């Protein structure tokens, strides 16, 4: 079976939670790659790293992305400009569940400022444990890429 590849990106505000979740996901046995930044001392743009992750997914260098910024919002905006990328900014377990079940999100974006490591782990687990439902949702997802 093909090993799922997961790429990570953040800005400075998402850096610490990214590091923690990166290790958590790696310990689960997934293939992981961190696209940066590699320290939190410098203020960097969520757009730069969101675009880096979006391109990486479009180029099929990873299957799934996990992204972080202060709120999870800015980096999700950057990601959602890439055709085929469906980045869900999630703040609770229900978001994580429905982002996969209905929207087949291929990126989850979380807040480094308002989400704890414990909350983030629960959301990540829910996202991985939920299967996309398909059916009526597929034509809606296809429609997203029609522009
Ligand atoms: C950076 O200070 C902050 O604006 C950014 O991390 C994010 O919250 C934007 O959406």
CA 21 – ligand 1 centroid, Å: 19
Residue spans per domain, the chain: 5-144
Atom of ligand 1 nearest to the CA of 73: 10
pLDDT tens sequence across 71-86: 999 999 999 999 999 9
pLDDT tens sequence across 4-24: 999 999 999 999 999 999 999
Q: Which CATH architecture has domain 5-144?
A: 3-Layer(aba) Sandwich (3.40)
CA 84 – ligand 1 centroid, Å: 24
What is the rounded CA–CA span in Å between residue 92 and residue 45?
Answer: 25
Instruction: Give the residue from 102, 21, 100 showing the smallest Cα distance to 66.
Output: 21
């Amino acid at each position: 079976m093909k090993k799922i590849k997961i790429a990570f990106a953040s800005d400075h505000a998402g850096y610490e939670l990214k590091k923690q979740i990166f290790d958590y996901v790696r310990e689960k046995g997934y293939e992981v790659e961190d696209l940066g930044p590699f320290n939190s001392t410098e203020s960097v743009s969520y757009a730069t790293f969101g675009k880096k992750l979006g391109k990486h997914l479009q180029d099929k260098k990873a299957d799934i992305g996990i992204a972080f910024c202060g709120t999870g919002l800015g980096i999700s905006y950057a990601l959602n400009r890439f055709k085929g990328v469906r980045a869900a900014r999630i703040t609770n377990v229900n978001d994580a569940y429905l982002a996969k079940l209905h929207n087949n999100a291929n990126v989850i974006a979380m807040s480094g400022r308002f989400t704890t490591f414990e909350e983030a782990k629960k959301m990540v687990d829910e996202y991985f444990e939920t299967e996309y439902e398909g059916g009526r949702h597929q034509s809606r997802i296809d429609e997203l890429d029609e522009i």
